[in-house]
Amino acid sequence: ITNTSGLVLVDLSNNDLTAMQFTILNDVGSLPQQHLGLYDGEDVEHAMGVGSYQDMLEVQREIWVNFTTKSMSYDYEGNILQNMSGINLSYNRLLGGIPKEMGNLTNLHSLNLSHNQLTGPIPATFSNMGQLESLDLSYNHLSGSIPIELTEMNALGTFKVGHNNLSGKIPFEAHLVTFDEGSYEGNP
């Protein structure tokens, strides 16, 4: 599959993935690309500083993604992340922190990173995803408090951060007040 102009959803859930790499353009097309990765056993932010990752920042505007699911292999080429409205990476074995650059995916309507082994804080940059309607970060090992900036995400209709290691007060402001206890349960 090489023509991805109509691609709106990538569902890589339930595949036991241990590594995932994406290249995305910054919001301003003339700026260099960002390289994002979620790697088994390696801190993502540390991995992004390694020289081989810096090399990937320099040139290419198009990317190639291959994934296998249910014994079928699929190839996607192009700037797919600019066109997607949903990413589902749930039920894999992804480790490390969530890259703050994921907040640059401003066209997303749905992001599901649940049931992984992600650690660290919830990036405050998620507030840049103003169109996001569903955010599921439950069943990970995320820590810290829920960023107050998330109260700016007015389109959110589903918000799940339960069963992590989150602490502090829940920012009961704006629409975050509308989510029930189930969205937050299972945290210290």
Residues 119-178: pLDDT tens digits? 999 999 999 999 999 999 999 999 999 999 999 999 999 999 999 999 999 988 888 889
Q: What is the mean pLDDT of residues 109-118?
A: 93
What are φ and ψ of residue 150, in 5° steps? -65, -15
Higher pLDDT, 15 or 114: 114
Q: Which of 105, 109, 129, 125 is nearest to 26 (CA)?
A: 105
pLDDT given for residue 82 in this prediction: 54
Length of the chain: 188
pLDDT given for residue 28 in this prediction: 27
Please name the helix (run of DSSP H) or strand (run of DSSP E) that holds residue 47, with its range, or none.
helix 44-48
Strand ranges, E, within the chain: 9-11, 19-24, 34-39, 63-69, 72-78, 86-88, 95-97, 110-112, 117-120, 134-136, 141-144, 158-160, 165-166
pLDDT band with cut points at 50, 70 and 90 for residue 13? low
pLDDT given for residue 139 in this prediction: 98
For each of the domains in the chain, give its residue range(s) and CATH number, in order of start: 9-183 (3.80.10)
pLDDT band with cut points at 50, 70 and 90 for residue 85? confident
pLDDT band with cut points at 50, 70 and 90 for residue 104? confident
Percentage of the chain surpassing pLDDT 70? Answer: 55
